[in-house]
Amino acid sequence: MKILYQLFVFLYPKAAWLISWKNEKAKNWVRGRRFVFKNLSNYFYLQKKPVIWIHCASLGEFEQGRPIIESIKQSYPDYQILLTFFSPSGYEVRKNYHAADFISYLPMDSAKNANRFFNIVQPSLILFIKYEFWHYYCKEAAERKIPLLLASGIFREDQIFFKWYGNFYRNILTKFSQFFVQDEQSALLLKQLGLQEKTMISGDTRFDRVLEIVANFEAIQMIETFCNGSVTIVAGSTWTEDDEELDHFINQHPTIKCIIAPHEIESERLKECLKLYKNSMLFSTYEQLLIKNEKISNDPQVLIIDNYGMLTRLYHYATICLVGGGFGGDGVHNVLEAAVYGKPVIIGPVYEKYKEAVDLVENGGCIAVENALELEDVLLQLLDAGNTLYHSSSKAAKEYVYANAGATNKILAHIQEKRLLTN
């Protein structure tokens, strides 16, 4: 298994380079790592403060880790925060994030890279968010006796750690100092590996994050102008499969406004959305027309969001939310971003890997549908003024989010209790 892992970390950069000429994400991945060690060296050579290193795979994990980052920043101002990303979809959106002192791509995992990285950064504490398990970085942390925490981790029985052939990956887990997991099932699985002494059920920091967004909500004037009091469906993080289930209903109900925030915003994907939704317009186009005070001859029914960073606030404007991903193979995206606003949330059938989605379906805050016909039926039920489904679903969604807050405080309390950041 170690040979396969080494083969993966050897081939992945080469594959990214090969497709970078036609794939913007791959191009950013390659370009972002070109001078990564030089940039790290230039910055940290001049710094004298101790460093806390926080790593997120992508944007979703960043949002999950953000409450921890900002709480640590406030509680430990004498420390610098290094924030790293594996994916361009995290780095490119958050490369100017205010609470981190330095933001970087993570160099690809290897013995040489890990050693060089630690020599430059010399972190006092490391937090990986949710899913990241890099063999050489974890090994280096353990050998240097640097505390390594996993925040908001979640484990499932079908993961490689719990297979008979997963010894190499189980060994990676032993390098962690502490696991903060989302649920009891994860804790029981780690107990099977003898890691119960390192495990705490803390919950999911995403609950804290979405509540923070609501508490500090900033209106989006262009969106308010577009919605203008109309019934509005906001579909967030959609893939082609999600839009193909929704487009017929939207096109057949021209009085209902709709906001589509695709998960990927490459040119071809945006063109696809514009084709699927008949009376649609890109947000950037709509915004420019309003800024220039130009008359919009054909007021769009559907707005296609062609930027990152707005989605968590877009759900505020929804009458009904649809969270994408559930009609594809990978599964539904973050339902908490929608549920926190106390709106009904509709998702596709692929959600079983995501605890919060399972919980919300069980308590009625989320409604899972199998296909376009079921989706249309549920939308009509929710929009029927005489049907109580809308209010019961809204109430269940909001109550679930508020009842599960507090994971960030548990992680900070552990750091303080164990004196992990005491000079």
Burial class (CB in 10 A: 0-12, 13-18, 19+), 175: middle
Whether residue 358 has pLDDT greater than 70: yes
Band of pLDDT at residue 89, cut at 50, 70 and 90: confident
Question: Is pLDDT at 296 greater than 80 in this prediction?
Answer: no
Q: Which residue type sits at 62?
A: F
The pLDDT value given to residue 8: 86
Q: What is the mean pLDDT of the chain?
A: 94
In this prediction, residues 20-34 reach a mean pLDDT of: 89
Q: Which residues are CB-neighbours of 258 under 8 A, at least 6 positions away?
A: 232, 233, 234, 235, 246, 250, 277, 301, 302, 303
Q: Is the pLDDT of residue 422 over 90?
A: no
Give the C-alpha separation, 383 to 62, whole Å.
34
Give 333's pLDDT tier (boundaries 50, 70, 90).
very high
Cα distances (angstroms) measured from residue 70 to each of 97, 120, 168, 271, 325: 11, 24, 34, 37, 29
Phi, psi of 39 (to 5 degrees): -65, -40
Is residue 297 very low, low, confident or very high in pLDDT (cuts 50, 70, 90)?
low
Tell me what pLDDT residue 169 has. Answer: 96
pLDDT(262) > 90: yes
Say if residue 225 is exposed, middle or buried (CB neighbours under 10 Å; 0-12, 13-18, 19+). Answer: exposed
Which tens digits make up the pLDDT trace of 368-384? 999 999 999 999 999 99
Would you say residue 423 has pLDDT above 60? no
CA distance 85 to 79: 20
Q: How far apart are CA 280 and CA 313, in angstroms?
A: 20
Question: What is the arrangement of strands in the sheet containing 80-85, beginning at the earlier edge strand?
Answer: 102-105, 80-85, 51-56, 123-129, 148-153, 178-181, 199-201
347 phi-psi bin (left φ>0, alpha ψ -120 to 50, beta other): beta
What is the longest distance spanned by two Cα atoms in the chain? 67
Domains and CATH numbers, the chain: 2-203+406-417 (3.40.50.11720), 217-403 (3.40.50.2000)
* 307, 285 Cβ separation under 8 angstroms: no
pLDDT digits (tens, 9 = 90+) for 110-167: 999 999 999 999 999 999 999 889 999 999 999 999 999 999 999 999 999 999 999 9
% of the chain with per-residue pLDDT over 70: 99
94-102: average pLDDT = 95
Indicate yes or no: pTM above 0.85: yes
Mean pLDDT of 248-256: 97
Rg of the chain taking only CA atoms, in angstroms: 22
Structural element, H or E, at residue 124: strand 123-129
The Cα 308–Cα 141 span in angstroms is 33
Banded model confidence at residue 403, pLDDT cuts 50, 70, 90: very high
